[in-house]
Chain A
Protein backbone atom coordinates (compact mmCIF):
# COMPACT_ATOMS: atom_id res chain seq x y z
CA UNK A 1 0.00 0.00 0.00
CA UNK A 2 1.17 3.46 -0.82
CA UNK A 3 2.17 5.84 1.92
CA UNK A 4 -0.48 8.34 1.02
CA UNK A 5 -3.55 6.12 1.26
CA UNK A 6 -4.87 4.57 4.41
CA UNK A 7 -7.62 2.03 4.73
CA UNK A 8 -10.48 3.82 6.42
CA UNK A 9 -12.70 0.83 7.18
CA UNK A 10 -12.91 1.13 10.92
CA UNK A 11 -15.56 -0.32 13.21
CA UNK A 12 -17.71 2.79 13.24
CA UNK A 13 -17.97 2.97 9.47
CA UNK A 14 -18.75 -0.75 9.24
CA UNK A 15 -21.91 -0.17 11.21
CA UNK A 16 -23.11 1.97 8.31
CA UNK A 17 -22.45 -0.57 5.59
CA UNK A 18 -26.13 -1.37 5.63
CA UNK A 19 -27.22 0.30 2.40
CA UNK A 20 -30.38 1.77 3.88
CA UNK A 21 -31.50 4.63 6.05
CA UNK A 22 -31.32 8.39 5.83
CA UNK A 23 -28.69 10.06 3.66
CA UNK A 24 -29.42 13.44 5.21
CA UNK A 25 -28.58 12.44 8.75
CA UNK A 26 -25.21 10.87 8.01
CA UNK A 27 -21.70 12.25 8.13
CA UNK A 28 -19.52 12.35 5.02
CA UNK A 29 -17.68 9.16 6.00
CA UNK A 30 -20.90 7.34 6.80
CA UNK A 31 -22.39 8.35 3.45
CA UNK A 32 -19.37 7.02 1.57
CA UNK A 33 -19.29 3.77 3.52
CA UNK A 34 -22.98 3.12 2.95
CA UNK A 35 -23.01 4.23 -0.68
CA UNK A 36 -20.07 2.18 -1.95
CA UNK A 37 -19.54 -1.59 -1.99
CA UNK A 38 -18.67 -2.95 1.41
CA UNK A 39 -15.08 -2.27 2.50
CA UNK A 40 -14.16 -1.01 -0.97
CA UNK A 41 -13.25 2.56 0.03
CA UNK A 42 -9.69 3.74 0.47
CA UNK A 43 -9.23 7.32 1.49
CA UNK A 44 -6.72 9.65 -0.15
CA UNK A 45 -5.09 12.16 2.23
CA UNK A 46 -6.84 10.71 5.29
CA UNK A 47 -7.04 12.65 8.57
CA UNK A 48 -3.88 10.93 9.83
CA UNK A 49 -1.91 12.96 7.28
CA UNK A 50 -3.27 16.20 8.73
CA UNK A 51 -3.86 18.31 5.66
CA UNK A 52 -5.58 21.04 7.60
CA UNK A 53 -6.43 24.61 6.68
CA UNK A 54 -3.36 26.82 7.19
CA UNK A 55 -5.64 29.86 7.49
CA UNK A 56 -8.28 29.06 10.09
CA UNK A 57 -5.88 29.11 13.06
CA UNK A 58 -4.98 32.72 12.22
CA UNK A 59 -8.63 33.60 12.86
CA UNK A 60 -8.79 31.50 16.00
CA UNK A 61 -11.03 28.96 14.30
CA UNK A 62 -10.85 25.19 14.84
CA UNK A 63 -9.52 23.04 11.99
CA UNK A 64 -10.63 19.61 10.72
CA UNK A 65 -8.00 17.00 9.92
CA UNK A 66 -9.63 16.43 6.51
CA UNK A 67 -10.58 20.13 6.03
CA UNK A 68 -14.20 19.08 5.74
CA UNK A 69 -14.05 16.81 2.71
CA UNK A 70 -13.36 13.09 2.41
CA UNK A 71 -11.94 11.85 -0.90
CA UNK A 72 -10.81 8.51 -2.23
CA UNK A 73 -11.42 5.48 -4.40
CA UNK A 74 -13.83 2.60 -4.14
CA UNK A 75 -16.29 0.47 -5.99
CA UNK A 76 -19.97 0.85 -6.73
CA UNK A 77 -21.67 -2.33 -7.95
CA UNK A 78 -18.17 -3.59 -8.70
CA UNK A 79 -17.23 -0.62 -10.90
CA UNK A 80 -14.25 1.53 -9.91
CA UNK A 81 -15.22 5.05 -8.88
CA UNK A 82 -13.64 8.13 -7.37
CA UNK A 83 -15.63 9.86 -4.67
CA UNK A 84 -15.63 13.10 -2.68
CA UNK A 85 -18.01 13.82 0.19
CA UNK A 86 -18.29 17.15 1.96
CA UNK A 87 -18.70 16.93 5.71
CA UNK A 88 -21.88 18.83 6.56
CA UNK A 89 -20.93 19.54 10.17
CA UNK A 90 -17.63 21.30 9.46
CA UNK A 91 -18.19 24.98 8.63
CA UNK A 92 -21.27 24.27 6.56
CA UNK A 93 -19.42 22.12 4.05
CA UNK A 94 -17.70 25.29 2.85
CA UNK A 95 -14.85 25.31 0.35
CA UNK A 96 -11.48 26.50 1.63
CA UNK A 97 -8.06 26.22 0.03
CA UNK A 98 -7.23 22.64 1.07
CA UNK A 99 -10.83 21.42 0.81
CA UNK A 100 -11.09 22.70 -2.75
CA UNK A 101 -7.66 21.41 -3.77
CA UNK A 102 -8.60 17.88 -2.66
CA UNK A 103 -11.59 17.89 -5.01
CA UNK A 104 -9.55 19.42 -7.85
CA UNK A 105 -6.88 16.72 -7.45
CA UNK A 106 -9.50 13.97 -7.44
CA UNK A 107 -11.08 15.24 -10.68
CA UNK A 108 -7.67 15.62 -12.33
CA UNK A 109 -6.89 12.06 -11.27
CA UNK A 110 -10.10 10.95 -12.96
CA UNK A 111 -9.31 12.89 -16.14
CA UNK A 112 -5.83 11.44 -16.37
CA UNK A 113 -6.93 7.87 -15.67
CA UNK A 114 -6.08 6.09 -12.44
CA UNK A 115 -3.25 3.66 -13.18
CA UNK A 116 -4.12 4.12 -16.86
CA UNK A 117 -7.69 2.96 -16.32
CA UNK A 118 -10.62 5.33 -16.52
CA UNK A 119 -12.92 5.12 -13.52
CA UNK A 120 -16.60 4.49 -14.30
CA UNK A 121 -17.42 7.82 -12.72
CA UNK A 122 -16.64 10.49 -10.15
CA UNK A 123 -19.24 10.90 -7.41
CA UNK A 124 -19.43 14.33 -5.79
CA UNK A 125 -21.50 14.30 -2.59
CA UNK A 126 -22.02 18.04 -2.25
CA UNK A 127 -23.41 19.51 0.97
CA UNK A 128 -22.31 23.11 1.05
CA UNK A 129 -23.10 26.77 1.48
CA UNK A 130 -20.32 27.60 -1.01
CA UNK A 131 -17.11 29.53 -0.45
CA UNK A 132 -15.61 29.49 3.07
CA UNK A 133 -15.49 33.21 3.80
CA UNK A 134 -12.52 32.85 6.17
CA UNK A 135 -10.44 31.96 3.11
CA UNK A 136 -12.75 33.51 0.55
CA UNK A 137 -10.33 34.27 -2.29
CA UNK A 138 -8.77 30.82 -2.18
CA UNK A 139 -12.21 29.21 -1.93
CA UNK A 140 -13.58 31.05 -4.97
CA UNK A 141 -10.45 30.28 -6.97
CA UNK A 142 -10.68 26.61 -5.96
CA UNK A 143 -14.29 26.42 -7.12
CA UNK A 144 -13.22 27.76 -10.52
CA UNK A 145 -10.47 25.13 -10.60
CA UNK A 146 -13.04 22.45 -9.71
CA UNK A 147 -15.17 23.68 -12.61
CA UNK A 148 -12.21 23.44 -15.02
CA UNK A 149 -11.34 19.97 -13.71
CA UNK A 150 -14.97 18.81 -14.16
CA UNK A 151 -14.77 19.81 -17.83
CA UNK A 152 -11.43 18.00 -18.18
CA UNK A 153 -12.87 14.81 -16.64
CA UNK A 154 -15.87 15.04 -18.96
CA UNK A 155 -13.59 15.56 -21.97
CA UNK A 156 -11.78 12.37 -20.94
CA UNK A 157 -15.11 10.52 -21.00
CA UNK A 158 -15.44 10.11 -17.24
CA UNK A 159 -18.96 11.00 -16.06
CA UNK A 160 -19.15 13.31 -13.05
CA UNK A 161 -22.22 12.58 -10.94
CA UNK A 162 -23.44 15.00 -8.25
CA UNK A 163 -25.47 13.80 -5.27
CA UNK A 164 -27.40 16.44 -3.32
CA UNK A 165 -29.36 15.49 -0.22
CA UNK A 166 -27.61 17.03 2.76
CA UNK A 167 -28.73 19.64 5.24
CA UNK A 168 -26.67 22.46 3.76
CA UNK A 169 -28.09 21.99 0.27
CA UNK A 170 -25.76 22.90 -2.59
CA UNK A 171 -25.25 26.65 -2.90
CA UNK A 172 -22.84 29.23 -4.22
CA UNK A 173 -20.26 28.40 -6.84
CA UNK A 174 -20.78 24.68 -6.38
CA UNK A 175 -24.43 25.21 -7.26
CA UNK A 176 -23.15 26.37 -10.65
CA UNK A 177 -20.53 23.61 -10.87
CA UNK A 178 -23.21 20.98 -10.22
CA UNK A 179 -24.90 21.94 -13.45
CA UNK A 180 -21.56 21.65 -15.27
CA UNK A 181 -21.44 17.93 -14.41
CA UNK A 182 -22.95 15.01 -16.32
CA UNK A 183 -25.71 14.15 -13.85
CA UNK A 184 -27.42 15.59 -10.78
CA UNK A 185 -29.18 13.23 -8.38
CA UNK A 186 -31.22 15.01 -5.73
CA UNK A 187 -33.48 14.04 -2.85
CA UNK A 188 -36.65 15.86 -1.96
CA UNK A 189 -34.76 17.32 1.00
CA UNK A 190 -31.94 18.54 -1.25
CA UNK A 191 -31.74 22.16 -2.40
CA UNK A 192 -29.80 23.47 -5.37
CA UNK A 193 -29.23 27.14 -6.20
CA UNK A 194 -26.57 29.83 -6.52
CA UNK A 195 -27.74 32.42 -3.99
CA UNK A 196 -29.17 31.18 -0.73
CA UNK A 197 -32.42 32.57 0.73
CA UNK A 198 -30.57 34.46 3.49
CA UNK A 199 -28.28 36.13 0.95
CA UNK A 200 -31.21 37.27 -1.18
CA UNK A 201 -33.13 38.48 1.86
CA UNK A 202 -30.09 40.39 3.15
CA UNK A 203 -29.64 42.10 -0.23
CA UNK A 204 -33.23 42.89 -1.16
CA UNK A 205 -35.36 42.46 1.93
CA UNK A 206 -37.89 40.03 3.28
CA UNK A 207 -40.43 41.08 0.63
CA UNK A 208 -38.15 39.66 -2.07
CA UNK A 209 -37.38 36.45 -0.21
CA UNK A 210 -38.50 35.40 3.26
CA UNK A 211 -35.67 33.06 4.21
CA UNK A 212 -37.59 31.72 7.19
CA UNK A 213 -40.46 30.52 4.99
CA UNK A 214 -39.30 26.93 4.64
CA UNK A 215 -42.09 25.97 2.25
CA UNK A 216 -41.07 28.85 -0.05
CA UNK A 217 -37.41 27.82 0.12
CA UNK A 218 -38.19 24.24 -0.88
CA UNK A 219 -40.66 25.24 -3.59
CA UNK A 220 -38.08 27.55 -5.13
CA UNK A 221 -34.85 25.59 -4.73
CA UNK A 222 -35.79 22.12 -3.54
CA UNK A 223 -35.30 18.75 -5.21
CA UNK A 224 -38.82 18.46 -6.57
CA UNK A 225 -38.74 21.81 -8.36
CA UNK A 226 -35.31 21.10 -9.80
CA UNK A 227 -36.54 17.74 -11.06
CA UNK A 228 -39.69 19.19 -12.65
CA UNK A 229 -37.59 21.83 -14.46
CA UNK A 230 -35.20 19.14 -15.68
CA UNK A 231 -32.22 20.51 -13.71
CA UNK A 232 -31.99 17.27 -11.73
CA UNK A 233 -31.76 13.98 -13.63
CA UNK A 234 -33.03 11.79 -10.81
CA UNK A 235 -35.05 12.40 -7.69
CA UNK A 236 -34.87 9.91 -4.85
CA UNK A 237 -36.28 9.64 -1.34
CA UNK A 238 -33.95 10.44 1.55
CA UNK A 239 -32.54 6.93 1.54
CA UNK A 240 -28.96 5.88 0.96
CA UNK A 241 -30.03 2.79 -1.04
CA UNK A 242 -31.98 4.98 -3.43
CA UNK A 243 -28.99 7.29 -3.94
CA UNK A 244 -26.79 4.22 -4.44
CA UNK A 245 -28.90 2.65 -7.15
CA UNK A 246 -29.50 5.97 -8.93
CA UNK A 247 -25.75 6.69 -8.99
CA UNK A 248 -24.98 3.16 -10.13
CA UNK A 249 -27.28 3.53 -13.15
CA UNK A 250 -25.41 6.65 -14.26
CA UNK A 251 -21.92 5.12 -14.13
CA UNK A 252 -20.21 4.53 -17.44
CA UNK A 253 -22.63 6.81 -19.33
CA UNK A 254 -20.77 10.05 -19.97
CA UNK A 255 -22.59 12.87 -21.73
CA UNK A 256 -20.27 14.27 -24.40
CA UNK A 257 -20.05 18.04 -24.07
CA UNK A 258 -20.25 19.03 -27.74
CA UNK A 259 -21.29 22.18 -29.60
CA UNK A 260 -24.51 20.40 -30.60
CA UNK A 261 -25.21 19.51 -26.95
CA UNK A 262 -24.79 23.08 -25.69
CA UNK A 263 -26.86 24.41 -28.59
CA UNK A 264 -29.71 22.08 -27.63
CA UNK A 265 -29.37 23.18 -24.03
CA UNK A 266 -29.37 26.81 -25.14
CA UNK A 267 -32.68 26.38 -26.96
CA UNK A 268 -34.17 24.54 -23.98
CA UNK A 269 -33.15 27.24 -21.47
CA UNK A 270 -34.31 30.05 -23.78
CA UNK A 271 -37.68 28.37 -24.06
CA UNK A 272 -37.83 28.02 -20.27
CA UNK A 273 -37.09 31.72 -19.73
CA UNK A 274 -39.73 32.75 -22.23
CA UNK A 275 -42.37 30.34 -21.07
CA UNK A 276 -42.06 31.14 -17.37
CA UNK A 277 -41.10 34.81 -17.64
CA UNK A 278 -44.18 35.93 -15.72
CA UNK A 279 -44.07 33.22 -13.04
CA UNK A 280 -43.31 34.44 -9.54
CA UNK A 281 -43.80 31.18 -7.67
CA UNK A 282 -42.97 27.56 -8.41
CA UNK A 283 -46.65 26.61 -8.23
CA UNK A 284 -47.28 28.83 -11.28
CA UNK A 285 -44.57 26.99 -13.21
CA UNK A 286 -45.93 23.60 -12.14
CA UNK A 287 -49.39 24.65 -13.16
CA UNK A 288 -48.15 25.92 -16.53
CA UNK A 289 -46.56 22.50 -17.06
CA UNK A 290 -49.94 20.86 -16.68
CA UNK A 291 -49.74 19.68 -13.08
CA UNK A 292 -53.36 19.71 -11.96
CA UNK A 293 -53.01 20.45 -8.25
CA UNK A 294 -49.65 22.21 -7.88
CA UNK A 295 -50.24 23.01 -4.21
CA UNK A 296 -50.18 19.27 -3.50
CA UNK A 297 -46.72 18.71 -5.03
CA UNK A 298 -44.76 19.35 -1.80
CA UNK A 299 -46.88 16.76 0.02
CA UNK A 300 -46.56 13.93 -2.48
CA UNK A 301 -44.36 10.90 -1.84
CA UNK A 302 -41.62 10.37 -4.40
CA UNK A 303 -43.39 7.64 -6.40
CA UNK A 304 -46.56 9.64 -6.88
CA UNK A 305 -44.52 12.78 -7.51
CA UNK A 306 -42.28 11.15 -10.11
CA UNK A 307 -45.30 9.97 -12.06
CA UNK A 308 -46.82 13.43 -12.47
CA UNK A 309 -43.43 15.14 -12.81
CA UNK A 310 -42.33 12.82 -15.62
CA UNK A 311 -45.54 13.58 -17.47
CA UNK A 312 -44.83 17.30 -17.00
CA UNK A 313 -41.26 16.86 -18.23
CA UNK A 314 -42.69 15.42 -21.43
CA UNK A 315 -40.98 12.11 -20.98
CA UNK A 316 -37.28 12.61 -21.28
CA UNK A 317 -37.25 15.80 -23.35
CA UNK A 318 -35.68 17.78 -20.54
CA UNK A 319 -33.05 15.15 -20.03
CA UNK A 320 -32.02 14.94 -23.66
CA UNK A 321 -31.69 18.67 -23.90
CA UNK A 322 -29.16 19.05 -21.11
CA UNK A 323 -25.51 19.35 -21.94
Chain B
Protein backbone atom coordinates (compact mmCIF):
# COMPACT_ATOMS: atom_id res chain seq x y z
CA UNK B 1 0.00 0.00 0.00
CA UNK B 2 1.26 3.47 -0.88
CA UNK B 3 2.01 5.86 1.95
CA UNK B 4 0.92 9.46 1.39
CA UNK B 5 4.45 10.80 0.95
CA UNK B 6 5.38 8.32 -1.74
CA UNK B 7 2.03 8.97 -3.39
CA UNK B 8 2.63 12.75 -3.48
CA UNK B 9 6.21 12.28 -4.69
CA UNK B 10 4.97 10.19 -7.59
CA UNK B 11 1.95 12.41 -8.39
CA UNK B 12 4.06 15.58 -8.51
CA UNK B 13 7.47 14.05 -9.32
CA UNK B 14 8.72 15.35 -5.98
CA UNK B 15 7.61 18.95 -6.58
CA UNK B 16 5.21 19.45 -3.67
CA UNK B 17 5.04 20.74 -0.08
CA UNK B 18 2.28 18.43 1.17
CA UNK B 19 2.60 17.81 4.90
CA UNK B 20 0.82 16.00 7.68
CA UNK B 21 -0.30 18.44 10.34
CA UNK B 22 -2.70 17.74 13.17
CA UNK B 23 -4.02 14.65 11.43
CA UNK B 24 -4.67 16.38 8.10
CA UNK B 25 -2.70 16.26 4.86
CA UNK B 26 -2.46 19.63 3.18
CA UNK B 27 -0.29 21.66 0.87
CA UNK B 28 0.16 21.97 -2.86
CA UNK B 29 2.01 20.35 -5.68
CA UNK B 30 3.04 21.35 -9.16
CA UNK B 31 2.39 19.39 -12.29
CA UNK B 32 2.94 20.61 -15.83
CA UNK B 33 3.55 24.15 -14.56
CA UNK B 34 0.23 24.16 -12.74
CA UNK B 35 -0.43 24.28 -8.99
CA UNK B 36 -2.81 21.77 -7.40
CA UNK B 37 -4.09 22.11 -3.83
CA UNK B 38 -4.03 18.94 -1.74
CA UNK B 39 -6.18 17.99 1.26
CA UNK B 40 -6.58 14.55 2.70
CA UNK B 41 -6.41 11.96 5.42
CA UNK B 42 -4.05 9.18 6.32
CA UNK B 43 -3.68 6.13 8.58
CA UNK B 44 -7.23 4.97 7.86
CA UNK B 45 -8.62 8.01 9.65
CA UNK B 46 -12.05 7.79 11.21
CA UNK B 47 -13.74 11.03 10.22
CA UNK B 48 -15.39 12.62 13.20
CA UNK B 49 -16.58 16.15 13.84
CA UNK B 50 -13.12 17.55 14.62
CA UNK B 51 -11.39 16.03 11.61
CA UNK B 52 -14.24 17.08 9.30
CA UNK B 53 -13.82 20.67 10.48
CA UNK B 54 -10.04 20.60 9.99
CA UNK B 55 -10.50 19.33 6.44
CA UNK B 56 -13.20 21.94 5.79
CA UNK B 57 -10.87 24.69 7.03
CA UNK B 58 -8.24 23.58 4.48
CA UNK B 59 -10.78 23.57 1.65
CA UNK B 60 -12.02 27.04 2.59
CA UNK B 61 -8.44 28.34 2.76
CA UNK B 62 -7.83 27.15 -0.81
CA UNK B 63 -11.04 28.79 -2.04
CA UNK B 64 -10.11 32.09 -0.36
CA UNK B 65 -6.41 32.21 -1.12
CA UNK B 66 -6.16 30.40 -4.45
CA UNK B 67 -9.35 31.00 -6.44
CA UNK B 68 -9.91 28.39 -9.12
CA UNK B 69 -6.97 26.15 -8.12
CA UNK B 70 -7.81 22.46 -8.64
CA UNK B 71 -8.24 20.52 -5.40
CA UNK B 72 -7.00 16.95 -5.04
CA UNK B 73 -8.40 14.98 -2.09
CA UNK B 74 -6.23 12.11 -0.87
CA UNK B 75 -8.54 9.55 0.68
CA UNK B 76 -7.64 7.08 3.40
CA UNK B 77 -10.54 6.54 5.79
CA UNK B 78 -12.05 3.65 7.71
CA UNK B 79 -15.37 5.52 7.67
CA UNK B 80 -17.06 8.05 9.90
CA UNK B 81 -16.03 8.15 13.56
CA UNK B 82 -18.34 5.86 15.52
CA UNK B 83 -18.75 7.53 18.87
CA UNK B 84 -21.36 8.86 21.20
CA UNK B 85 -19.64 12.24 21.49
CA UNK B 86 -19.47 12.77 17.74
CA UNK B 87 -23.17 12.04 17.34
CA UNK B 88 -24.01 14.22 20.35
CA UNK B 89 -22.16 17.18 18.88
CA UNK B 90 -23.54 16.59 15.36
CA UNK B 91 -21.10 14.62 13.22
CA UNK B 92 -23.69 14.71 10.45
CA UNK B 93 -23.66 18.52 10.51
CA UNK B 94 -19.84 18.60 10.39
CA UNK B 95 -19.59 16.03 7.59
CA UNK B 96 -22.30 17.95 5.70
CA UNK B 97 -20.33 21.14 6.28
CA UNK B 98 -17.28 19.56 4.65
CA UNK B 99 -19.46 18.56 1.70
CA UNK B 100 -20.82 22.12 1.44
CA UNK B 101 -17.28 23.53 1.38
CA UNK B 102 -16.45 21.25 -1.56
CA UNK B 103 -19.75 22.20 -3.25
CA UNK B 104 -18.97 25.91 -2.91
CA UNK B 105 -15.47 25.30 -4.29
CA UNK B 106 -17.00 23.54 -7.29
CA UNK B 107 -19.48 26.39 -7.83
CA UNK B 108 -16.60 28.83 -7.84
CA UNK B 109 -14.77 26.96 -10.57
CA UNK B 110 -12.41 24.70 -8.63
CA UNK B 111 -11.93 21.34 -10.24
CA UNK B 112 -12.34 18.57 -7.65
CA UNK B 113 -10.51 15.27 -7.96
CA UNK B 114 -10.17 12.57 -5.33
CA UNK B 115 -7.98 9.51 -5.20
CA UNK B 116 -8.40 6.60 -2.83
CA UNK B 117 -4.78 5.64 -2.18
CA UNK B 118 -5.30 3.27 0.71
CA UNK B 119 -8.80 2.65 2.06
CA UNK B 120 -12.26 4.21 1.75
CA UNK B 121 -15.27 3.09 3.71
CA UNK B 122 -18.89 4.15 3.80
CA UNK B 123 -19.61 7.52 5.47
CA UNK B 124 -15.97 8.62 5.40
CA UNK B 125 -15.79 7.97 1.66
CA UNK B 126 -19.08 9.83 1.17
CA UNK B 127 -17.79 12.86 3.07
CA UNK B 128 -14.31 13.11 1.61
CA UNK B 129 -13.89 11.31 -1.71
CA UNK B 130 -17.23 10.91 -3.41
CA UNK B 131 -18.07 14.60 -3.72
CA UNK B 132 -15.32 15.14 -6.30
CA UNK B 133 -16.01 15.69 -9.99
CA UNK B 134 -14.30 12.35 -10.39
CA UNK B 135 -13.06 9.81 -7.90
CA UNK B 136 -10.06 7.65 -8.76
CA UNK B 137 -8.33 4.83 -6.90
CA UNK B 138 -4.87 3.31 -7.04
CA UNK B 139 -4.73 -0.34 -7.96
CA UNK B 140 -4.45 -1.98 -4.55
CA UNK B 141 -6.76 0.41 -2.68
CA UNK B 142 -9.67 -0.95 -0.66
CA UNK B 143 -13.20 0.42 -1.00
CA UNK B 144 -16.22 -0.98 0.79
CA UNK B 145 -19.42 -0.23 2.65
CA UNK B 146 -19.03 -3.16 5.02
CA UNK B 147 -16.99 -6.34 5.13
CA UNK B 148 -19.00 -9.41 4.13
CA UNK B 149 -18.98 -11.17 7.54
CA UNK B 150 -20.47 -8.06 9.20
CA UNK B 151 -22.93 -7.71 6.35
CA UNK B 152 -23.95 -11.32 6.88
CA UNK B 153 -24.62 -10.67 10.57
CA UNK B 154 -26.70 -7.55 9.94
CA UNK B 155 -28.72 -8.87 7.00
CA UNK B 156 -29.01 -12.37 8.56
CA UNK B 157 -28.07 -13.83 5.18
CA UNK B 158 -25.52 -16.69 5.10
CA UNK B 159 -21.97 -15.56 4.35
CA UNK B 160 -21.65 -18.25 1.66
CA UNK B 161 -24.66 -16.81 -0.16
CA UNK B 162 -23.18 -13.29 -0.11
CA UNK B 163 -19.80 -14.58 -1.29
CA UNK B 164 -21.47 -16.51 -4.09
CA UNK B 165 -23.39 -13.44 -5.21
CA UNK B 166 -20.24 -11.29 -5.18
CA UNK B 167 -18.82 -13.50 -7.94
CA UNK B 168 -21.53 -12.32 -10.35
CA UNK B 169 -22.46 -8.79 -9.28
CA UNK B 170 -20.66 -5.57 -8.30
CA UNK B 171 -23.57 -4.41 -6.23
CA UNK B 172 -22.60 -5.35 -2.68
CA UNK B 173 -19.10 -6.67 -2.26
CA UNK B 174 -15.88 -4.87 -1.28
CA UNK B 175 -13.37 -3.99 -3.99
CA UNK B 176 -12.28 -1.10 -6.17
CA UNK B 177 -13.30 -2.93 -9.34
CA UNK B 178 -16.89 -3.08 -8.08
CA UNK B 179 -16.99 0.67 -7.57
CA UNK B 180 -15.51 1.20 -11.02
CA UNK B 181 -18.24 -0.99 -12.54
CA UNK B 182 -20.87 1.06 -10.71
CA UNK B 183 -19.50 4.31 -12.17
CA UNK B 184 -18.67 5.56 -8.68
CA UNK B 185 -14.92 5.38 -9.35
CA UNK B 186 -13.99 6.88 -12.70
CA UNK B 187 -10.83 4.87 -13.26
CA UNK B 188 -7.96 3.02 -11.61
CA UNK B 189 -4.67 4.89 -11.57
CA UNK B 190 -1.60 2.87 -12.52
CA UNK B 191 2.00 4.02 -12.76
CA UNK B 192 3.11 6.54 -13.84
CA UNK B 193 0.77 8.35 -11.45
CA UNK B 194 1.77 11.87 -12.57
CA UNK B 195 0.42 11.07 -16.05
CA UNK B 196 -2.87 9.92 -14.49
CA UNK B 197 -3.21 13.13 -12.52
CA UNK B 198 -2.29 15.27 -15.52
CA UNK B 199 -4.93 13.53 -17.64
CA UNK B 200 -7.58 14.01 -14.93
CA UNK B 201 -6.75 17.71 -14.67
CA UNK B 202 -7.30 18.14 -18.40
CA UNK B 203 -11.00 17.44 -18.04
CA UNK B 204 -13.28 20.49 -17.76
CA UNK B 205 -14.52 21.72 -14.37
CA UNK B 206 -18.11 21.79 -13.22
CA UNK B 207 -19.54 18.99 -15.32
CA UNK B 208 -22.74 17.11 -14.56
CA UNK B 209 -22.75 14.01 -12.38
CA UNK B 210 -22.12 11.18 -14.86
CA UNK B 211 -21.81 8.31 -12.41
CA UNK B 212 -25.18 6.70 -13.10
CA UNK B 213 -24.59 6.87 -16.85
CA UNK B 214 -21.13 5.33 -16.44
CA UNK B 215 -22.58 2.61 -14.21
CA UNK B 216 -25.06 1.73 -16.96
CA UNK B 217 -22.39 1.71 -19.68
CA UNK B 218 -20.14 -0.50 -17.59
CA UNK B 219 -22.95 -2.84 -16.65
CA UNK B 220 -22.49 -2.43 -12.89
CA UNK B 221 -25.75 -0.62 -12.27
CA UNK B 222 -28.40 -1.79 -14.64
CA UNK B 223 -31.32 0.25 -13.30
CA UNK B 224 -30.15 3.58 -11.85
CA UNK B 225 -29.56 5.60 -15.01
CA UNK B 226 -32.76 4.42 -16.67
CA UNK B 227 -34.82 5.27 -13.58
CA UNK B 228 -33.16 8.66 -13.11
CA UNK B 229 -33.74 9.60 -16.74
CA UNK B 230 -37.38 8.50 -16.62
CA UNK B 231 -38.02 10.64 -13.56
CA UNK B 232 -36.18 13.64 -14.99
CA UNK B 233 -37.90 13.55 -18.32
CA UNK B 234 -41.36 12.46 -17.30
CA UNK B 235 -43.94 14.83 -18.82
CA UNK B 236 -46.06 17.15 -16.70
CA UNK B 237 -49.27 15.59 -15.48
CA UNK B 238 -52.33 16.82 -17.40
Could you mark each residue 248-286 of chain A with 1 if its beta carbon is under 8 Å from any beta carbon of chain B, else 0?
A: 000000000111011101100110110010011110010
Q: Indicate if A28 sits at the interface (CB-CB under 8 A).
A: no
B126, A176: Cβ atoms under 8 Å?
A: yes
Q: Indicate if A151 sits at the interface (CB-CB under 8 A).
A: yes
Q: B5-13, B33-41, B168-176, B196-204: which lies at the A interface? A: B168-176
Q: Indicate if B224 sits at the interface (CB-CB under 8 A).
A: yes
A131, B101: Cβ atoms under 8 Å?
A: no
Could you mark each residue 32-47 of chain A with 1 if its beta carbon is under 8 Å from any beta carbon of chain B, else 0?
A: 0000000000101100
Q: Indicate if B118 sits at the interface (CB-CB under 8 A).
A: no
B100, A175: Cβ atoms under 8 Å?
A: no
Shortest beta-carbon distance from A216 to chain B in Å = 8
Q: Indicate if A108 sits at the interface (CB-CB under 8 A).
A: yes
B82, A200: Cβ atoms under 8 Å?
A: yes
How many residues on B have C-beta within 8 angstroms of the other chain's C-beta atoms?
A: 79
Check A59/B157 contact, CB under 8 A, given A105-B231, A200-B83, A204-B83.
yes
A147, B230: Cβ atoms under 8 Å?
A: no
Q: Identify A97's interface contact among B94, B223, B236, CB under 8 A.
A: B223
Could you mark each residue 87-124 of chain A with 1 if its beta carbon is under 8 Å from any beta carbon of chain B, else 0?
A: 00000000001101110111011001011000000000
B154, A179: Cβ atoms under 8 Å?
A: no
Bound CA span A323–B200, Å = 30
Across-interface contacts of B83 in A (CB, < 8 A): 195, 200, 204, 208
Check A176/B92 contact, CB under 8 A, given A104-B212, A133-B146, A209-B84.
yes
Check A285/B88 contact, CB under 8 A, given A266-B53, A266-B60.
yes
Q: Indicate if B70 sits at the interface (CB-CB under 8 A).
A: no
A195, B88: Cβ atoms under 8 Å?
A: no
A152-172 with Cβ < 8 A to chain B: 152, 155, 172
A145, B209: Cβ atoms under 8 Å?
A: yes
Q: Identify A136's interface contact among B80, B145, B232, CB under 8 A.
A: B145
Counting residue pairs across A and B whose Cβ atoms lie within 8 Å, the total is 269
Check A279/B88 contact, CB under 8 A, given A59-B165, A194-B80.
yes
How many residues on A have C-beta within 8 angstroms of the other chain's C-beta atoms?
A: 92
Check A100/B92 contact, CB under 8 A, given A106-B231, A200-B83.
no
Check A58/B145 contact, CB under 8 A, given A142-B224, A204-B82, A265-B97.
no
B126, A272: Cβ atoms under 8 Å?
A: no
Across-interface contacts of B17 in A (CB, < 8 A): none
Across-interface contacts of B159 in A (CB, < 8 A): none
Taking beta carbons and an 8 Å cutoff, which residues of A are in contact with B?
1-2, 4-5, 7, 42, 44-45, 51, 53-55, 58-59, 71, 73, 97-98, 100-102, 104-106, 108-109, 112, 114-115, 131, 133-145, 147-149, 151-152, 155, 172-173, 175-180, 192-195, 199-200, 203-204, 208-209, 220-221, 225-226, 229, 231, 257-259, 261-263, 265-266, 269-270, 272-273, 276, 279-282, 285, 323
Taking beta carbons and an 8 Å cutoff, which residues of B are in contact with A?
49-50, 53, 56-57, 60, 63-64, 80, 82-97, 99-101, 103-104, 106-108, 122-123, 125-127, 130-131, 145-146, 151, 154-155, 157, 161-162, 165, 169-173, 178-179, 182-184, 209, 211-212, 215, 221-225, 227-232, 234-238
